[in-house]
Amino acid sequence: MSVQTATSPTTRRFDPLACKDDLDAFRAEVRAWLEAVVPADWHARMTGASEADYVAFQRWWFAEMGKVGLATPHWPRDWGGADIGIRHQVIIFEEIARAQAPNPDMFVISLYHLPATLFGNGSKAQRDRYLTGVKERGEVWCQGFSEPGSGSDLASLRTRAERKGDVYVINGQKVWSSYGAFADYCLLLARTDPTAPKKQAGISYFILNMKAPGVTVRPIRQATGQAEFCEIFLDNVEIPVADLIGEENAGWAIAQSTLSAERGLIIFELSERMARTLDADLAEAKRTDAAWLKDDEARRAFTRAYNDMVALRLMIRALMQEIETDPHMGSTTMPTYIKVHFSELLRRYTEFRLKLGGLAGQLRQPIVLGGGHQTGNVMHDFLLSYAWTISGGANEILKTMIAERALGLPR
């Protein structure tokens, strides 16, 4: 695929991070860069695009973000980031949403889950090798947590890791691994002590090279028609001891750091895109004097969604402030609240848009790859919204955790 980078070529060199001491100038530079670099026709080009074209476009977009330091601005400076604060991150995501820029969804594990895992638990050698690999070479990561038969009971995983000399030999199966078909590496949980008294114990955390002998990846066709999720089969796969993260049998606690990223920071950008969508929908309805503005039930549904969106943004900002104060710990409960709140809001609002679209909105249409949950293809957005009620922990399980651990309610 020939990736045309902008509607009007420019020779100007953009450097938003050089303006970070002046928030207005920082915003102006981010906005100017987005106006120059985001192709005006990218939605059309990615509608019904081939897998190869989607991957090429994702890699191009990630590289463009990296050129101006906006691929990893939230990472600490010592590990390849810009060490920027919450106010700058809010501006970045507000402007990305405003520009309706592509979502670098193929890199979501690389940008959020991997650093959340390695910052506090990885060795220096692991951070140097793998964070650099993401930043400089655009390496793609996936996550190998879920297994067939385990459902949301992650601790019951059965994939085995047996140490033999300088390697661990892995056998088992993972499922629902997003972008596994394109991944270079995988964050893998495996059981190293099947005799441990508690099922959460005896689990270790590994870095898996997806090109290693014995790794087989099989995409899963979803209701949307996409194959974002994959099964991963592991047949006597060898992982060097150097790629064990943390101590052997201590993987469960480390996995909570990974899941915190999925339940909190990753939703930051999505919430800004959602806010933009709700504002745009309301403006369009007013402009066209849409019938739903005169319907009490529809107005109540929209108002509830809008209020929930405002609450979501406030929760995320509170989480970001906690992380600014304590980068490695943050809140132990806020990411769970955020994940549950976001996923239920997303499902309700996509259903609202689907109802407004009537029967015509339910017709199968080509999908905008890389468009996230705001593609405008209301049937696709509605179906995809269900994924968020499962990923990062099923909402039913997380609500039980909130009730018992955060609120202290009886079992």
Q: Is 322 a catalytic residue?
A: no
Kindly write down the DSSP assignment for every residue of 247-307, as one continuous string. STTBHHHHHHHHHHHHHTTHHHHHHHHHHHHHHHHHHHHHHHT-GGGG-HHHHHHHHHHHH
Alpha-carbon separation of residue 390 from 34, 151, 167, 178, 217 (angstroms): 33, 9, 33, 13, 21
Tokens of 378: 């209301």
Cβ neighbours of residue 213 closer than 8 Å, sequence gap 6 or more: 237, 238
Cβ neighbours of residue 345 closer than 8 Å, sequence gap 6 or more: 274, 305, 308, 309, 312
Tokens of 80: 């390849």
Catalytic member of 64, 94, 262, 322: 262
Alpha-carbon separation of residue 268 from 279, 294, 394 (angstroms): 17, 32, 19
Dihedral sign from CA coordinates of 131, 95, 354, 389: positive
On whether the CB atoms of residues 57 and 46 are closer than 8 A, the answer is yes
On whether the CB atoms of residues 167 and 134 are closer than 8 A, the answer is no
Q: CA angle, 20 as apex, 15 and 22 as ends, to 5°?
A: 115
Catalytic residue numbers?
262
